Structure 1
Amino acid sequence: MALPDFLVIGVPKAGTTALHAALSRHPGLFLPAVKEPKFFLSEGPPPARGGPGDAQTYQEHVWRRADYEALFDPAAEDALLGEATPFYLYDLDAQNRIRRLLPKARLVVLLRNPVDRAHSNWTHLWAAGLEAERDFVRACALEEQRRAAGWAHFWHYVSQGRYGAQLAHLFSLFSRDQVLLLRYRELREEPVATLDKVCDFLGVATGQLGVVPSENVTPFVADTPVNAVLRALLRTGGQIGHHFPVPVRQVARGPLLTALQRQKGGRPALTPRQRAAVLPYFVEDIALLEEVTGLSYADWLTTGVEPDTIDDGS
């Protein structure tokens, strides 16, 4: 039976897709083609409904253990096995499940300025046509209402960025030498050194990886009347699409998404007003994060936006 030796457990919008793609090229590592199997997010079948598009995403979860183990069947006999699901850090129950099944696993965590992470998360769902709230600050304020309605993790713009509480729980389950804590900017600014750091942590040869792929950069989606109609159609499809076979959904959704994302170019930057409005959600937790890790994250209280130059995947 094949189970992973390591997991990339967090966080969404912080380079996990790019890290998965880079590590997949290492001859001593095996990561399945299915990125984000989400196995540890539930004990059994995931929920059947939630926010726009959630039901379809839930259908993609690899929640049966036999199916999960089968993901690793193609690996070479001596390869180190791993997978990347960036919601595992946020979901404390997932952390508990990992501890029960994989108590010796090595865990890789990528952290990103929580305000920038939240904005990138909102932009991702906006560009996908699923986010109806055009104001980022207002979307953050809607989180409690959406969580109460059962919307999935990816809608939790604020809560996902409270890393201090998440890591405090993680360190109660795993020894610190089992966890490699990285920052998004390390992967962006020093990709080769950061990949070597990951390889050294995992116990495989360094010097094998020389590039971090640029993937999943969300295109700019303008707020126009035509796009408003397209987004409404995509949200409707997100609510009812799980009733149809995947090929039917793809045929219906593909042209709408292509039309919505037809305009290329840089997206609007997070403004000082927006940053000032959202930062208070995280100030207390950043202090906890510093206490838990012994590291300084003071720059998250003062510096500007970290651009999405390598990865904008979930």
Structure 2
Amino acid sequence: MTLPDFLVIGVPKAGTTALHAALVRHPDLYLSAVKEPKYFLSDGPPPAQGGPGDAQTYQEHVWRRADYEALFAPAPPGTLTGEATPFYLYDLDAQARIKRAVPDAKLIVVLRNPVDRAHSNWYHLWAAGLEPERSFVAACDAEPARRAAGWAHFWHYLGQGRYGEQLQHLFTLFDREQVLLMRYRDLRDTPVEALDRVCAFLGVRTGLLGAVPSENVTPYVPDTPLNTVLRTALRVGGTFGQHFPVPLRLAARGPLLTALHRQKGPRPRLTADERATILPWFTEDIALLEKVTEESFQDWLDLENPPEHHRRR
């Protein structure tokens, strides 16, 4: 039996892809070649339907136990094995499955300002041509209906950011010493120190990783008539593409994405009005987060001074 020693379990759009890319370079660690196996998100086959593109994503889940174990079989002797699926924190059933399968695993959580995380999540799907809502706030308003319709976790812009609830549940299953909480800003602003902290937590050598690579950067996609056509075509393909072989699907999708991402420019900024509209949805949970972690997250409540990286854009 080959199961992981550690898991990066959260959160989406908080640097987990970059963290995975950095940890892959450590000689004492072995991370699965599949960055997000999503094994613990289901007890069997994942759903067959969902939001735009979800059916194709579900086809990529590594849900069979033997296939999941095979991801870690090539690990050199003596290395620690791990994987990164940032939806595990959000999915409380996934937390329980992890507890049953690997109760001694070490868990890494990277937290990001939930409003900024939600906006980045929305724009990621917009740039992929899958998000039909031009307005970030309107997309958030649509979340209850989308969840009722079975859209996958990545569409839950607001729900994904309720870290207090998620961590409160996690700490009923795992000892706090098994969980490392980090901030997205630390990975971004002080990457060497952040990586050494991860390595120390895992019990491997520090001082060997010098940077967090730039990974999973969302391209610029302006709202133009041509891009509207391209995005519609991508959503239609996301609905029907699961009926075609993967090579054919990728061959059809590739040129559309290339055309959609043809322009260069800055990604849209989260406006002050958008922040003020969305933040109240998280205030109660941020208070719970502070209680659960005994750490301050008051900077997330500051409407007058948004995160530095947002001001720079």
* 1-structure distance, mates of 2:285, 2:69: 36
**Residue 307 of structure 1, CA deviation:** 3.5
1:306, CA displacement in angstroms?
5.7
Q: Distance in 2 between matches of 1:265 and 1:199?
A: 36
Residue in 2 that maps onto 1:72: 72
What is the total number of aligned residue pairs between the two structures? 308
* Deviation beyond 3 Å, 4+ runs, structure 1: 305-308
Partners of 1:118 and 1:274 lie apart in 2 by 11
- Per-residue CA deviations over 1:105-131 (Å, capped at 9, x if unaligned) read 000000000000000000000000000
Tell whether the 8 Å contact from 1:185 to 1:306 is kept in structure 2 after alignment: no
1:180 match: secondary structure: strand
What is the DSSP-based 3-state SS (H/G/I as helix, E as strand, rest coil) of the residue aligned with 2:45? coil
TM-score by length of 2: 0.97
Task: Identify the residue that residue 247 of structure 2 maps to in structure 1.
Answer: 247
Could you tell me how far apart the structure 2 residues matched to 1:15 and 1:218 are?
12
Which sections of structure 2, spanning at least 5 residues, go unmatched?
none
Q: Pairwise mapping of residues 182-193 of structure 1 onto structure 2 (< 5 A)?
A: 182-193=182-193
Q: Structure 1 CA distance, aligned partners of 2:14 and 2:216?
A: 12
Match of 1:156 in 2: 156
The alpha carbon displacement at 1:73 in A equals 1.3
| Secondary structure of the corresponding residue to residue 182 of structure 1 | strand
Please report how far the alpha carbon of residue 20 of structure 1 lies from its aligned counterpart in structure 2 after TM superposition.
0.3
How many angstroms apart in 2 are the aligned matches of 1:23 and 1:307?
24
Q: Is the 8 A contact 1:54 1:152 kept in 2?
A: yes
**Larger displacement relative to structure 2 (184-193 or 262-271):** 262-271
1:74 is displaced (CA, Å) by: 1.1
Q: Secondary structure at the match of 1:282?
A: helix
- Could you give the per-residue CA deviations for residues 245-303 of structure 1, whole angstroms, max 9, x where no partner exists? 10010011000011001111211110000000111110100000000000000000103
Aligned to 1:2: 2
Equivalent-residue separation in structure 1 for 2:296 and 2:129 (angstroms): 37
Matched residues in 2 for 1:19 and 1:172: separation?
26
Q: 2:306 maps to which residue?
A: 304
For residues 159-180 of structure 1, the C-alpha deviation after alignment (integer angstroms, 9 at most, x for no partner) is: 0000000000000000000000
- Give 1:167's aligned amino acid: L
The 3-state SS of whatever aligns with 1:108 is strand
In the other structure, the counterpart of 2:102 is: 102
Q: Which runs of 5+ in 1 are unaligned?
A: 309-314
Letter in 1 for 2:40: F
For 1:124, the equivalent position in structure 2 comes to 124
For residue 259 of structure 1, give the secondary structure of its aligned residue in structure 2. Answer: helix
Residue 279 of structure 2 aligns to a residue whose secondary structure is: helix
Aligned Cα root-mean-square deviation (Å) = 0.8
Q: CA deviation at 1:64?
A: 0.2
Give the corresponding residue for 2:264.
264
